[in-house]
Structure 1
Amino acid sequence: MNARLLLVHGLCVLFIIFDRTAAHLTSSERSSGSQEEDEYDRRKEEDEYYTYLSVCKNETGINLYAVYQRECDFDNQVALGRFRNAVNETGWGVFEVETSSNYDDAIQAYAAGLAEGILTKQLIYYHFRNTIEDMCKGYRVYCNKLYAYLAKNLKWIEQTVRMKPKEDLYWKQVNLSFAQVTGIWHGYSKKSPKWYKPVINFDITPIYMIQLYGDLFDLAKFFDKQPDPGDAADSGHCSGFAKLAPGNKDLFFSHVAMSGYNTMNRVLKVYKFGYDRKDAPGYTLSFSGYPAGISSADDFVLTSAGLAALETTFAIYNKTLYTDTFIKPIGQLHCWIRSSIANTLAGDAKTWSKIFSRYNSGTYNNQWVIVDFKTFEPGKETPPKDLLWVLEQVPGYVLARDMTWFIKKYSYFPSYNIPYFTVISEMSGFAEQAKKNDWYKWGSCPRAKIFDRDHVKVTDIEQLQKLMSWDTTDIVANHYGQPVDWKFGPVETDWETDVKANLK
């Protein structure tokens, strides 16, 4: 399996394609001498472009330390991370981390976060300044309400984690998510200490606020942030597309994330954890993301379970849903952590939908499209079920259905910030908005018509690029760490970025 990425210059457009049938030369097809030469050349090139960092256990086995090298001095490597900051060359940083199964899962999660916090510290600083730092400037009343709500929510999460049995895989992943976030915070904020103590904190930190970036869209509405940042007309910020090639020769999966220039510090990430693969089928996650974020937030994710997930966000026009009946600090988990848990624990699209639906926070309300590539065989008939699931969320309600029939009948499924399901359209207020014009109507808005007209042209990745890309923008937001104008053209890269670590 293979994925490619295209970045259209000058616009914060993320265009990612997953190609089911692409093949690569395997090691068995090479001579041993050639293989050794290739390995030497590869490591030499990687050393030139990547910075490596090992997270190691100290001799007492209590604390961790970090060294800028591929291996630890002793047989005590917990995690190996590598990072390439090519933001000013390609628009992207690349971060990868692999952890050892010889250590407790919580230690692995913390160590993975620690490596990310240290290696991507500069990008985290820029991203925080661009997106989070000024969020309370002029909005003190809103932020007082927000932080009180978040503090209650975090207290409930911590209490629930401690109360749940260790066998509860869902809440174990909640705990591991906060271990990873804590590790990022320690790696980012501490100034090269001798030791790092692997703990798990449930605190409001800049790193935690970065996780909430998508959820803050709806929390601003819920807490009546004035002036309302959503008053301006909004055509939506994402497009998603799943497409069967003629004769079922291929299955394409693509996503475009459009946002402000201030969000353009981007990082391609690979997390490869040494978790029990039966408990965590998605032990490896590849995704487009942002500095310090452990979920994609675009979203575009590939998992080791053979799943691909994307989402496009839709607005909530029905303001009666923004009440404490549906959004509350107790008994709910925000979207960022629910999506991360679903990506890790789910082995199929139906299970992904069930896991994500739990503890609905009513924030970052999206249409999710989940494809299970294990069920697809190139050139064979489309499976009757469980190839493609669609999930939609509003405050207080989540609906998920097997939509394999749709892609089987029409050969594609589009996603463009408008709910598909009638009940979600009515609950969210889209049905009422659609009475004004077709802009808010699934199947009738401009992007729906473009997809319907042009999907037949998509027979290969090149045609898909033409359909999904767009090139126009005005730079009006903070952009620390970024040039005023990027001169580079489209970037293509194979998404085969496993860290080839020798962890013992």
Structure 2
Amino acid sequence: MGHLTINTSAVFPDSEQLKAAGFLEGWLTAERIHQHFQNMVAFYETSNNENGPAQFQFLATQEVWLRHQMNSSDTQQSPFWAYIRLLMAQFDGLVQGSAGLCLQVTPDFSDIFVAQAAWFTYAAMVRIFKHYHFKLHDTSLPGTDLAYSSYPGQLSSDDDFYLVNPTHLAVLQTTNRLFNESLLDTIQPQAVLSWQRVRSALSAASSGKEWAQLVGLHNSGTYTNSWLVIDLKRFSPGRPLQHGLLTVVEQVPDAMFSADFTHILESGYFALYNVPALQPAYEALGYPAFLASQ
């Protein structure tokens, strides 16, 4: 895995910092982007995906809606939309220029471990671990230092594995199956895609509860995930675990669910393997009916 670190300067406005960061990443990793693109095109061509044109149209419609919303007078005071504007500046600059999770504490609560296994195709092994250090002036966006595993040409993780400072949040994700296909009818392009909502929540949130609220805004429903949000500010070695240390957030196409799971972690560890932890998400995605049919 390659490594990429980008630092910006507070001399420049936030939007210029992000656009320049995107441009620099695009320029530095152009060859890797091309290689990753060729690998993934070959992978998806062999999957006989007949919905490709419809998916491209969905994404095109979503981008038009997103850019209109982020520039609307109704969104100018929102930290969520403030970061969406910065994220799309980074995206524009970039264009120009499956998983298992485990969280464990030691028996004496002296240390905490976060781990993830990324289960994806070998074709996606052209990987980059990215570090962004933004000097933002907008005080409503405290998460300025971001580190995550990623791929060429992507501004999100997709694994997903994020570390954020100075808010000291660690965020991991595993993807769940959607067996209740009636939920597909609720998906519309007039929404914010998962990678965009996640990046905004990573920047604007200071706690697991805030992260859950932000990532649920304008839910696109296009990525049925379970997220673990670990607030490392609430961990003190050798002390009892504090409420809010572990928040589980789960998305289905028409809803978001979240709960504090710190009490589960007190028993030693908490793990997810592509099955929802929250009963409402488990039922909404159709797991009970699927199991009954087996």
| TM-score between both structures, scaled by the size of structure 1 | 0.56
For the 8 Å contact 2:13–2:137, the answer to whether it is kept is no
Find the aligned partners of 2:47 and 2:234 in 1 and give their Cα distance.
51
Letter matched to residue 96 of structure 1:
T
2:77 matched residue in structure 1:
167
What residue number does 2:254 align with? 396
Rg bigger for which structure?
1
Amino acid at match of 1:294: L
AA aligned opposite 1:265: V
1:225-304 alignment runs, 5 A limit: 237-276=98-137, 278-304=139-165
**Paired residue for 1:55?**
none
Corresponding residue for 1:407? 265
Q: Which position in structure 1 is the counterpart of 2:188?
A: 328
Q: CA deviation at 1:147?
A: 2.5
Cα pair distance change 1:428/1:254, threshold 3 Å: same
Cα-to-partner distance string for 1:29-48 (whole Å, 9 max, x where unaligned): xxxxxxxxxxxxxxxxxxxx
Q: CA deviation at 1:178?
A: 1.1
Match of 2:2 in 1: 93
What amino acid is the match of 2:188?
K
Q: 1:353 — aligned with what?
A: 212
SS in 1 for 2:104: strand
Q: Does structure 1 retain, via aligned residues, the 8 Å contact 2:4–2:131?
A: yes
Aligned mates of 1:392, 1:417 — CA distance in 2? 11
Aligned to 2:179: 317
Instruction: Extract unaligned runs of 5+ from structure 2.
Output: none
Q: Distance in 2 between matches of 1:430 and 1:297?
A: 24
Q: Map of 1:417-432 to 2, 5 A cutoff? A: 417-432=274-289
C-alpha displacement of 1:376:
0.5
Aligned pairs for 1:361-380 (under 5 A) are: 361-380=220-239
Question: Are residues 364 and 138 of structure 1, via their aligned partners in 2, closer, same or farther at CA, if it must alter by over 3 Å?
Answer: closer
CA contact (8 A) 2:33 2:153 kept: yes
Measured against aligned partners, the alpha-carbon deviations of 1:200-225 in whole angstroms (never above 9, x if no partner) come to xxxxxxxxxxxxxxxxxxxxxxxxxx
CA distance in 1: counterparts of 2:205 and 2:22, whole angstroms:
22
Report the CA distance between 1:158 and its aligned residue.
1.3
- Superposition deviation, residue 273 in structure 1: 0.6
Q: Secondary structure at the match of 1:360?
A: coil
1:186 aligns with 2:45: no
- C-alpha contact (below 8 Å) 2:83/2:141 kept by paired residues: no
Supply the AA of the counterpart residue of 2:253.
Answer: P
- 1:125 counterpart (11, 16, 34): 34
The answer to whether the 8 Å contact 1:136/1:142 transfers is no
AA in 2 matched with 1:393: Q
User: Which secondary structure state, in structure 1, belongs to the residue aligned with residue 258 of structure 2?
Assistant: strand
Question: For 2:49 and 2:99, how far apart are their aligned partners in 1?
Answer: 30
CA distance in 2 between counterparts of 1:134 and 1:412 reads 36
> Does the Cα contact within 8 Å between 1:307 and 1:347 map onto a contact in 2?
yes
Q: Which amino acid aligns with 1:172?
A: A
Give the match for residue 440 of structure 1: none
Distance 1:427 1:320 in 2: 10
Q: CA deviation at 1:173?
A: 1.1
RMSD across aligned C-alpha pairs, in angstroms?
1.8
Change over 3 Å in CA distance of 1:341–1:378 after alignment to 2: same
Q: C-alpha separation between the residues in 2 aligned to 1:300 and 1:111?
A: 24
C-alpha separation in 2, matches of 1:370 and 1:362: 19
Cα distance in structure 1, aligned partners of 2:105 and 2:132: 28
Size of the aligned set, in residue pairs, is 292
Residue equivalent to 1:458:
none
Distance 2:293 2:109 in 1: 39
TM-score normalised to structure 2 length: 0.94
1:166 & 1:397 partners in 2: Cα distance? 25
Structure 1 portions without partners, runs of 5+: 1-91, 188-236, 438-504
Secondary structure at the counterpart of residue 434 of structure 1: helix
Q: 1:319 & 1:371 partners in 2: Cα distance?
A: 31
Distance 1:140 1:431 in 2: 28
The letter for the 2-side match of 1:152 is T
SS of the aligned residue for 2:71 comes to helix
Offset, 1:141: 6.0
Aligned to 1:496: none
Distance, in Å, in 1 between the alignment partners of 2:263 and 2:137 is 34
Counterpart contact for 1:136–1:143, Cα < 8 Å: no
1:146-165 pair list within 5 angstroms:
146-164=55-73, 165=75
Query: Which one has a larger percent helix, Structure 1 or Structure 2?
Result: 2
Return the alpha-carbon distance in structure 1 between the equivalents of residues 219 and 41 of structure 2. Answer: 24
Matches within 5 A, 1:203-222: none
Cα 1:150–1:389 change in 2 (3 A) is: same
Q: Which runs of 4+ in 1 moved over 3 A?
A: 132-141
CA contact (8 A) 2:249 2:257 kept: yes
* Distance change in 2, residues 1:415/1:174 (3 Å): same
- The one-letter code sitting in structure 2 at the alignment partner of 1:299 is D
Residue pair 2:192, 2:220 contacting (<8 A) in 1 also: yes
